[in-house]
Structure 1
C-alpha cells in the first residue's frame, strides 16, 4: 500500500467531492481519505489471500527475522551507551537533549548496518507485482539470497543502500518515540510514586520510590509514544518504500525530495500516507512487546 504498484482507490472517491463547496471539501476530504485508508486494509488482505494464498501474507519474513535481531541489538546497545556518554558530557544530567542525541546516534548506526536487509525484504514483498512486470524489465527474485545477488550484480553496492536517505529522515520518528517514551515513563513513575507516598503516609509507613513500571504501564507508555511518533513522521515510510521498490535505472523515484514532489503531484497528500493504518496495526503492538521485553530484562539485569 506504500508502493506505487498498489492500485489505490482513494483518488477517485475524493475527486468526486469536487462539486462540493470549498469549506465542505476541506472537511470531507481528510475524513473520506481516512475511512478509505482503514477500509482498504481489509480489502488488500483479502485480495492477497485470494490471489496468492494465505502464505503470501508472510512474504519477506526471512530477511525480517534475519534483520530484526541485529537491528534491535545495535539500536538498544547504541542508545544505552550513547545515553551514558551524553549524560556524562552533560554533567551527569539526563535531559531530553540527551535522549534526542542518543536516539539519533542509535538510528544512524542501525540504518547504516541493516539497510541492505530491509531493501531485500521490500523487494521480496513486492515480488508478485514485479513478476507481472517482467516484460517491462522487472526482475524476478527466487529467494532473499538471489535478490541480494541480483541487486549487487545489476545495481552495485549503492543499490543495497537505496532508501537510506529516507531512513535517515525516519530518524525523526525513532528519536521522537524515545523522547516521548522517556517523558511518559518519567511522568507515570512520578504519578505512581506520589500515590504510593500518599497511601504510605495515611498508614504511617515508609514508602520506597519505584524505579520501573509494571507491564501494563509499560505497554501504555510504549503504545502512546509510538502512535504519536509514527503518525507525525509517517511520509518517510512511503518515500523509503518507493525508493527501494524498483530495480535498474528506469525507476521514477530517484531521490528524497524528487520522490516527495512526484507523489504529491500525482496522488495528493493521501499518497504520502498510503498504508498508514496497516503500518499502525504493525508498529504499535510491536513497540509494546519490544519495550515490555526490554524493561523486563533490564529489571533483572
Structure 2
C-alpha cells in the first residue's frame, strides 16, 4: 500500500466502526443458545402451557383429581415445583415423550439467530458506546444502553419464530411423525395455518410484550457484568473455580431479572394464543393485562413461574458458559 501523502489522514475502512473479531460474539452466542434450548425444552413446554388460560384449568384438574380425597391445595412455592413435575408426567403419558419437545424446531430456529443477534449486538455495542460516548470506559450505563439495543433488535427480528413456537406448544394433539420431520414439519404446517387465518400480522402478535421484556434482558446483562466483576478473582485461573464463577453469575442474574419482569412473559403468551372459535380474546398489551387480572386475579401473572425458573436458570448458565468459553478459543 502506498504511503499516505503528507497532510492527509488515511480514511478508515468501512467496517472500522465494528470492534476487532466482532463476529465471534455472533457465533459464540448462537452456539450457547442452541445448547441451552435443547437441554431445557421440556420446561419451556410446561411454562408456556401454565401461562395460557387454554391449559391451566386442564392441568390443575389433572393434578388435583387423581382419585385423592378433595383437599384444598396450598399454592406455595414448593407446590408449584411439584405441579411442574406432575405436568411433565401427564404430557409424557398422554401425549408421548416427543410432546415434551414440542416447539423445539422453531425454538432452535429462533434461539440460534436470537442469541447470535443478542450477543453480537450487546458484545460489540458496549464497546462502541463506551468508545464514542464514555471515553472508552465501560460502566453500568454503557451496559444498560447496549443491552436495551440488543433486546430491541432481537425481539423485532425473531418475533415470528416465537409465535409459531408458542402455537405448537399449545397444541395438545399427539405428534404424528417421529423425529426431525415431526419437529420441523409441524412448524411448516403451523406457519401455513397462521398465514391462512390471520395473515402476516399474526406473526407479530406479542411484539409489544416482547419490547416490554427488553427490561429483563437489560437487567440480566447489567447484573451479569456486575457479578462478573465480583468474581473477577476466578477469571483466567481455569478449572472448577472459574467455571463456577461464570455459571453462578449467569444463573443469579437471570433469576433476579426473571422474578422482576416475569408478568410480561404471561402477557406475551396470551397475545400469541391461537384463535378460539374464530375470535381473538387478547388484542393488546394493556387490554390483556386488565382482562387477565379481572378474570383470574393478579396471581395469574406468575403462572408457570416455577417451570420458567427451572428452564431459564440452567439455560442461562449453559449459554453464558459456552459463550465465554467460545470467546476465549
Common topology (TM > 0.5):
yes
| In structure 1, C-alpha distance between the alignment counterparts of 2:294 and 2:82, rounded to whole Å | 24
| In structure 1, C-alpha distance between the alignment counterparts of 2:191 and 2:237, rounded to whole Å | 45
Matches within 5 A, 1:139-178: 143-178=186-221
Is 1:240 paired with 2:268?
A: yes
Find the residue that maps to 1:224 and give its secondary structure.
Answer: helix
The unaligned stretches of length 5 or more in structure 1 are 14-28, 132-140, 194-208
Is 1:64 paired with 2:107?
A: yes
Give the conservation status (yes or no) of the 8 Å contact 1:63–1:120.
yes
Residue 53 to residue 130, structure 1, CA distance change in 2 (3 Å): closer
Matches within 5 A, 1:1-301: 1-8=50-57, 9=60, 32-88=75-131, 89-128=133-172, 143-189=186-232, 192=233, 214-247=242-275, 250-300=279-329
* 1:189-230 Cα distance to aligned partner (Å, 9 max, x none): 1xx28xxxxxxxxxxxxxxx9599811110011111011001
The unaligned stretches of length 5 or more in structure 2 are 1-49, 65-72, 176-183
Find the residue that maps to 2:229 and give its secondary structure.
Answer: helix
Structure 1 stretches of at least 4 aligned residues deviating more than 6 Å after TM superposition: none
| In structure 2, C-alpha distance between the alignment counterparts of 1:183 and 1:151, rounded to whole Å | 42
Determine which structure has greater relative contact order: mean sequence separation of CA pairs < 8 Å that are 6+ residues apart, divided by chain length: 2
Q: CA RMSD in A?
A: 2.5
Give the conservation status (yes or no) of the 8 Å contact 1:123–1:245.
yes
**Count of equivalent residues:** 256
Which one has a larger percent helix, Structure 1 or Structure 2?
1
Give the conservation status (yes or no) of the 8 Å contact 1:151–1:247.
no
Give the conservation status (yes or no) of the 8 Å contact 1:243–1:253.
yes
How far is 1:145 from its partner? Answer: 1.0
| In structure 2, C-alpha distance between the alignment counterparts of 1:115 and 1:273, rounded to whole Å | 22
